[in-house]
Amino acid sequence: MKHRSQKLILFILFILGVFLLLFFSMRDHLTIENIHENRVLFQNYVRQHYLLSIFLYIAIYTLVVASGIPAAIILSLLGGALFGVLPAALFINLSATIGAAITFLLSRYYIGSWVQSKYKDRLSKFNAEVKSNGHYYMIFVRLVPVFPFIVVNSLSGLTKISFRVFLWTTALGVIPISVIYAYTGSNLAEITSPQDILSTGNIIVFSLLALLALLPIFIKKMKNKNS
């Protein structure tokens, strides 16, 4: 079983490596300007090959997230423009969750076990906190768009948070940003740069939602302090 897992991990790394090479050869084309110029071409392709378009979109988006390439926003806008708000939000959420899971597993498999073994005593209190409240913290960092996705995924793999908790909190936490990106993409003509997406108002709303995610921890600690 372990040998089979190693083969799978190596295969994933190979795919990510090939994808990185392809991306850096075409990264200059992944701009909002090019999406504007080729929008009709993309839309015609989607109409003619709808199911294949969905598969390619999810596959590419997943690889972008897993490799940490800063192209997720552009792809999110493109998804909204091509598939509509709700389908695009679903595809974005699914791709982001799968991509995050790949990074998480790679981090845990190659580094996480060593970190936990090496610093077992120092991490004991931290691990206890993660075990008790890890799902709240995960939702918090997912809701605040200032935390780099690849960093959260990688560092989570170093902790003892369960893969199941990581998966459902990621899927839940990225719902708001998925919907906003998809909706913005459906109105692509009004967008000239990625900075037009996350307005100050949106960031404030996300931050308030994130603070609500931490509210149960605060209440729990206050109860323990008063008991």
Beta strands in the chain (DSSP E): none
- Which residues, other chains included, contact 45 with Cβ-Cβ below 8 Å and sequence gap of 6+? 53
Residue 77, classed as helix, strand or coil, is helix
CB 65 within 8 A of CB 79: no
- Would you state the pLDDT for residue 132? 82
CB 12 within 8 A of CB 102: yes
- Would you state the pLDDT for residue 147? 78
Q: What are phi and psi of 71, to 5 degrees?
A: -130, 5
In whole angstroms, how far apart are CA 188 and each of 52, 74, 93, 213, 224? 23, 11, 19, 31, 50
Q: What are phi and psi of 49, to 5 degrees?
A: -135, 65
Q: How far is residue 87's CA from residue 80's CA, in Å, rounded to a whole number?
A: 8
**Which residues in the chain show pLDDT less than 70?**
1-30, 189-227
- Which residues, other chains included, contact 220 with Cβ-Cβ below 8 Å and sequence gap of 6+? 133
CB atoms within 10 A of CB 97: 21
Note if the pTM is more than 0.85: no
Of the CA atoms within 13 Å of residue 142, those in its CB half-sphere come to: 27
Of the CA atoms within 13 Å of residue 163, those in its CB half-sphere come to: 12
Of the CA atoms within 13 Å of residue 208, those in its CB half-sphere come to: 6
Angle 148-150-156 from CA coordinates, rounded to 5° = 100
Tokens of 150: 């690849």
